[in-house]
Amino acid sequence: MKLFFAFAIIAIALSVVYGAPADPWNEYKTKHGKKFGSTAEDAQRKKLFLAKDALIAKHNSQPKASYQLEHNEFSDMTPAELSQYLGAVKPANKTRSLESMVRLEMETRQLPDSLDYRTDSCLPGVRNQKQCGSCWAFAAITPLEFARCKKHGALRAISEQQLVDCEPYDYGCGGGWYTNAWYYLQYEAGGAAKRSLYPYTATDNTCAFSSSMIGAKISSYGDLPSFDAAYMQSVLQDYGPISVAIAVTDSFFSYASGVYTDVECDDPNAYVNHAVVVVGWGTDNGIDYWIVRNSWGTKWGSAGYILMERGVNKCKIEKYPATILSVV
């Protein structure tokens, strides 16, 4: 009995010195500001979190893993909720979206080992589409902002919400396609609104665009050949960021760092469901990668970016590339 009390006193003393054992669920809720309306919902969310926690721990324990995972705001979400942060919907008929496109003629050249627009003054800060499937609009606007800045020497924020509300070929927060967006801006709207005059709301609203809001105009945009990484590199170097569509699977939501090489998204049955923007390339530990800009804010991934394996059509990233060629 005396021995039992001695151990109990030691345990209490250690608890005072080092604190009680950490509760990862409560720590996660505090860090990400998660609050739930009932104990039942809390229990459901905790179950989702613990499943993700096990997946993250298993992956990160692999000694040869080329990338790491971490918890973020998505760790306690259901598959249905996660799908609301995607939104690439490939047009069934691409005739309209490709009408103004031209085939680029890129000369053979010696490409540099790396290119990184993340620190370029013409690339705006990473934005957050929030719980609206408008990734296609964000993927359309970034190359436009970059191209306009390179021509006029100053960065101007352009509206994604105009596309969500007004572009007639897609589905707003229900998804869309970046070349449809460019077609609408060039041929129907006559230009893209300034973001300050048409701010982002992450909801579907009635179109409120007027020509007095225009802050950028597209002259031409181009499709790139599929499955040609070197061609994409040349276009990146000459024209700037490239819009692409990718197939997002579970691990993508938890990406933290390193070169993403998950093979799950390479499944032939996996379909593209998210639009992002390629802003550079490089090589890490012998693995070639693209630098990819997401639209989930700066708290996701590496300050809003992910490195994705290059030259192997990882997650179908090299299947549907397109870019802005010129602006007014």
**CA–CA gap between residue 276 and residue 305 (Å, rounded):** 10
* H or E segment to which residue 233 belongs: helix 229-239
Known catalytic residue: 135?
yes
Which of 122, 132, 135, 265 is the catalytic position?
A: 135
Q: Catalytic residue among 71, 132, 274, 315, which?
A: 274
The confidence band for 11, taking pLDDT boundaries of 50, 70 and 90, is very low
Q: Give the per-residue pLDDT at 141.
A: 98
CB atoms within 10 A of CB 62: 9
Q: Is a pLDDT exceeding 50 seen at residue 4?
A: no
Does residue 32 surpass a pLDDT of 90? yes
pLDDT surpasses 60 at 94: no
- 205 given a catalytic annotation: no
pLDDT given for residue 109 in this prediction: 72
**DSSP states of 303-315:** TTEEEEETTTTGG
Q: Is 325 exposed, middle or buried (0-12, 13-18, 19+ CB in 10 A)?
A: buried
Q: Which pLDDT value is given to residue 255?
A: 98
Q: What's residue 214's pLDDT?
A: 98
Task: Give 97 or 116, the one with higher predicted confidence.
Answer: 116
| pLDDT recorded at residue 231 | 93
Give the whole-angstrom CA distance, residue 92 versus residue 184.
17
* For residues 269-295, average pLDDT: 97
pLDDT at 6: 45
The amino acid at 227: F
Residue 9, pLDDT above cutoff 90: no
pLDDT tens string 151-174: 999 999 999 999 999 999 999 999
Q: What is the mean pLDDT of residues 189-196?
A: 98
Q: What is the reported pLDDT for 241?
A: 98
Tens of pLDDT, residues 197-219: 999 999 999 999 999 999 999 99
Give per-residue pLDDT as tens, 248-260.
999 999 999 999 9
Across 167-198, b (16+ Cβ under 10 Å) vs e yields bebbbbbebbbbbbbbbbbbeebebbbbbeeb
pLDDT at 230 over 50: yes
Query: Mean pLDDT for the chain?
Result: 91
- Residue 133's pLDDT is 98
- Measured CA to CA, the distance from residue 87 to residue 135 in angstroms comes to 6
Q: Is 273 a catalytic residue?
A: no
Which domains are present in the chain? Answer: 2-65 (no CATH), 69-327 (3.90.70.10)
pLDDT tens-place string over residues 301-326:
999 999 999 999 999 999 999 999 99
**Is the model's pLDDT at 261 over the cut of 90?**
yes
Output DSSP code: residue 256.
Answer: E
Distances (CA, A) of 233 to 189, 249, 308, 323: 31, 25, 14, 12
Active-site choice (72, 128, 273, 294): 294
Angle made by CA atoms 276, 200, 169, in degrees to the nearest 5: 60
Residue 22: pLDDT band by 50, 70, 90 thresholds?
A: confident
